[in-house]
Amino acid sequence: MTTQTNKPSHAVYHVDGEGQKKFWTKIGAAWAHEDGEGFNIQLTCLPVDGRLVVRKPRADEQKGDAR
């Protein structure tokens, strides 16, 4: 299993709303397990509505640029 001292493989977002009115907020990070069967997820907050989306980081996020 990957330790959380490594760079996360994915970003975790809270998505509120639908269609053109949806709003994405980055709320955490995810580390893929070495066997590819799951993730360790660390959140900085816990949303009470909306949905969570786990995605690979965009190129500008990997460089450390602000979103």
Q: Quote the pLDDT of residue 58.
A: 77
The C-alpha torsion from 57 through 59 and 60 to 64, rounded to 10°, is 70
- Backbone phi, then psi, for 62, in 5-degree steps? -65, -30
Whether 13 has a pLDDT exceeding 90, the answer reads yes
Average pLDDT over residues 4-18: 88
Stated as kind and residue range, the H or E segment containing 60 is helix 59-62
Q: Quote the pLDDT of residue 66.
A: 46
Read off the pLDDT of residues 20-65 as tens digits, 9 standing for 90 and up. Answer: 999 999 999 999 999 989 999 999 999 999 899 999 987 776 665 4
Whether 8 has a pLDDT exceeding 80, the answer reads yes
